[in-house]
Amino acid sequence: MNKKLTEKLSSGHATCQGCGIPAIVRHVLAATDEPVIIANATGCLEVTTTIYPYTSWKVPYIHSVFGNAAATAAGIDAAQKALMKSGKIDKPAKIVCFGGDGGTYDIGLQALSGALERGHDFLYVCYDNEGYMNTGGQRSGATPFGANTETAPAGETSFGKAQQRKDLMEIVNAHGIKYLAQSNVAYIHDLKKKAKKALETKGPSFLLVLQPCTQLWKFPVSDYVAVGKLATETNFWPLYEIEDGKYTINNVVKNPKPIEEFLKTQGRFKHLFGEKNKERIVEIQKTVDANAEKLARKAQIS
Amino acid sequence: MNNKTIKNKSNIKALNGGYAMAEALRQIKPDVMAVYPITPQTTIIETFAKMKADGLVETEIIQTESEHSAMSATIGACAAGARAVTASSSQGLLHMAETLPVVSGLGLPVLMCVSSRALSAPLNIHGEHGDVMAVRDFGWVQIFGEQAQDAYDNTIIALKLTEMAGVPVMPIMDGFHTSHTTERVEVLDDEIVTSFVGQRQAENALTDQKNPITIGTLALQSTYFEFKVDQAVAMQKVKTFYKKICVEYAKISGRKHGLLEAYKLKDADHVIVMMGATAGTVKDTVDTLRAQGKKVGLLKINLFRPFPYKEVGEELAHAKNIAVLDRAMAFGSFPPLFQDILTSMQSAGSKKHDIASYIYGIGGRDTMQSHILKVFKDLENGEISKNIKYLQ
């Protein structure tokens, strides 16, 4: 493995086979040579990298609770400012938060909002695996419509999650921060570029990175890149960034593949292919198309 | 508390408890203070914010969007090596509840000023100890005060204690009765306080890039238990640190603080045990009854966590009848202080006492001398109820 990539998160960790989280963390952190401090929400990344008496982290790292990564970062930011003033440190480190979608869309949203509004100098990275995967695959605000999860299961009278996912990018964007971007672990070059920009931003910045979960999206462990690519090729997960309010689609998909191509790769959507749920796939396609169009308009206008 | 003015070393001011705590915070110069408003704590943070606005402190203030984030930011700041403080009350304290055991579990020296208040429902913003009792076993040191002077003194003592013991500390005052009552407060000179508390010497800080540390690990069945036993040991050491700091503090202030305050207790047959602001009313009542030749006294607990079982047992060894006054409800059990007093007497091997449980001042209800007279009368008459009595 590239030595630079394991300088901050070492190769010894306990993530599942075929998990993209370490790749996200490593590529984000490799995008800067400046010192960093990590604040991590409870979740897959935290439990697989900090099992006492071991740690996979070679940089300063703190985990506190599930919903407070951004608030913890706020405290570190204020501490660095104070310690700079009193001459106890020479240079502030860049604070980088990592949280899953549960810790970001749901339980940590308020703390994130507060920290963004106050303008702390930090990067928040949400690795979005579209559910509470560390606890065995329950529905979150990021879970897509129609997915089968443990707390919104498909059954005789249910087709899985009956609501649309939250548009977290727009929620974050509403805080008027300088840089935010949506990326995908299957597009490492895109992620690297965005990480660099985000880390160079003074004040808060945000990355939303799709992280296909082999365990609970239910696909073979060798396929996370393939599944991730399909998410973007079908326009389910467009790659875009918002700089000073200006939208740019980084990977315009000219002929998007039908959404079935993405859905059929995963066990969590298997029930949609039965006779009685077919309409749901049509519905999902309509939503994907409408969202893509909306995004294209925003990119045009700005 | 024994007031003794040392000339030229203190300034006498008229302050309420909230202002007194803010004044102490100004003098201990926190690096970071995370704030979120809640009655009756807000006087502390808004006074401090004004001090900052007027250039009297350099503290980085974080105006958080909730108490959960206030304590979370305090954790981040403290772990980064800063002297970090916050303040709270009631619903706010419980909103933080998830993060409080994190602070103590990580051994972070955090100071949180608390103005204690009732818990919803129904909504009530007034003083009592229901909030701090709900979090009493979260690994935080709890120091109760009676007057605005205690609010000031205990804040300084608490800061030194937390940084010495590596255990978080909450100095507690009764909401409104202490936090909003203006009293005579002797304030020490800034330099005296600054030199008394010194500077925080942080170990294992997140800002130490040369020695990167992982804070907040996952500890499984094979290690978690040891962490918790270590934490219990650290808590046990607090009593010694606290006593030592109180001795040092008496030297600079002339005011004696300690685990307990015994008021006319030495030869008392009938004793009330309690904590906080209402001790003043009990002292007055004791004086009234003493004037009538009655052998009554008060034992006021200052350090509630860790609880001074041994010292309490010794102080109460001679008493005949004891009434424990709790300012917190207990549902389906006896209230907390009563249980601790019972344990103290049992540990002391005492079997001769009759101990009664009373609950007073809930939701800010006034506790009058007449209530306290009634309690002493019960003790004198040997009317020791097996059930909790409410001083409504």
| pLDDT bucket at B347, cuts 50 / 70 / 90 | confident
| CB-based contacts of A255, cutoff 8 Å, min separation 6 | none
Q: How many A-B residue pairs are in contact by the CB < 8 A criterion?
A: 168
Q: Residue B5: what pLDDT?
A: 44
Q: Name the one residue in this structure whose structure tokens are 């916050």.
A: B86
Q: Closest CB to B76: pick one of A57, A73, A86.
A: A73
Mean pLDDT, chain A, whole residue set: 97
User: pLDDT (tens digit, 9 = 90+) per residue, B6-59?
Assistant: 444 569 999 999 999 999 999 999 999 999 999 999 999 999 999 999 999 999
Question: What is the pLDDT averaged over residues A296-301?
Answer: 96
Question: What is the pLDDT averaged over residues B245-253?
Answer: 98
CA distance B70 to chain A (A): 8
Q: Residue A1: what pLDDT?
A: 59
pTM over 0.90: yes
Whether A102 has a pLDDT exceeding 90, the answer reads: yes
ipTM given for this complex: 0.97
Q: What are phi and psi of B334, to 5 degrees?
A: -80, 155
CA nearest B96: which of B115, B75, B136, B68? B68
CA distance A32 to chain B (A): 15
Is A117 within 8 Å of chain B by CB? yes
Instruction: Report CB contact under 8 Å: B99, A79.
Output: no
User: pLDDT (tens digit, 9 = 90+) per residue, A211-246?
Assistant: 999 999 999 999 999 999 999 999 999 999 999 999
Identify from A50, A62, A118 which residue to disrupt to test chain B contact, counting B C-beta atoms within 10 A and taking the largest count.
A62
CA distance B173 to chain A (A): 26
Chain A positions touching B64 (Cβ under 8 A) are 71, 74, 114
Mean pLDDT, chain B, whole residue set: 96
User: pLDDT (tens digit, 9 = 90+) per residue, B92-113?
Assistant: 999 999 999 999 999 999 999 9
Chain A positions touching B59 (Cβ under 8 A) are 82
Q: Residue A248, by phi and psi: left (phi above 0), alpha (psi -120 to 50) or beta?
A: beta
Element (H, E) at B43: helix B42-53
Q: Residue B33: what pLDDT?
A: 98
User: pLDDT (tens digit, 9 = 90+) per residue, A261-288?
Assistant: 999 999 999 999 999 999 999 999 999 9
What percent of chain B has a predicted confidence (pLDDT) above 90? 95
Q: Residue A2: what pLDDT?
A: 78
Q: Closest CB to A79: pick one of B64, B76, B212.
A: B76
Instruction: Report CB contact under 8 Å: B223, A72.
Output: no
Question: What is the pLDDT averaged over residues A132-153?
Answer: 97
Is B214 within 8 Å of chain A by CB? yes
Element (H, E) at B274: strand B270-274
Q: Residue B43: what pLDDT?
A: 96
Chain B positions touching A13 (Cβ under 8 A) are none
Q: Residue B10: what pLDDT?
A: 62
Instruction: Report CB contact under 8 Å: A68, B99.
Output: yes
Length of chain A: 302
Element (H, E) at B326: strand B321-326
Whether B182 has a pLDDT exceeding 50, the answer reads: yes
With a CB-CB cutoff of 8 Å, which residues 218-257 of chain B face chain A?
Answer: 218-220, 223
| Whole-angstrom distance, CA of residue A268 vs CA of residue B207 | 43
Chain A positions touching B31 (Cβ under 8 A) are 78-79, 82-83, 86
Q: Residue B350: what pLDDT?
A: 72
Q: Closest CB to A65: pick one of B84, B99, B214.
A: B99
| pLDDT bucket at B3, cuts 50 / 70 / 90 | very low
Q: Residue B236: what pLDDT?
A: 97
Question: What is the pLDDT averaged over residues A5-14?
Answer: 94
With a CB-CB cutoff of 8 Å, which residues 82-101 of chain B face chain A?
Answer: 82, 84, 98-99
Partner residues linked to B170 by β-bridges: B142
Q: Residue B267: what pLDDT?
A: 96
The count of C-alpha atoms lying within 13 angstroms of the C-alpha of B362, restricted to the half-sphere facing its C-beta, is: 20
User: pLDDT (tens digit, 9 = 90+) per residue, B371-387?
Assistant: 999 999 999 999 999 99
Instruction: Report CB contact under 8 Å: B68, A68.
Output: yes
Is B210 within 8 Å of chain A by CB? no
Provide the pairing of β-strand A246-249 with B321-326. unpaired
Whether B293 has a pLDDT exceeding 50, the answer reads: yes
Instruction: Report CB contact under 8 Å: A60, B84.
Output: no
CA distance A179 to chain B (A): 22
Element (H, E) at B28: helix B17-28
Question: A58: nearest CA in chain B?
Answer: B212
Quick one: tokens of A38?
A: 């990590």
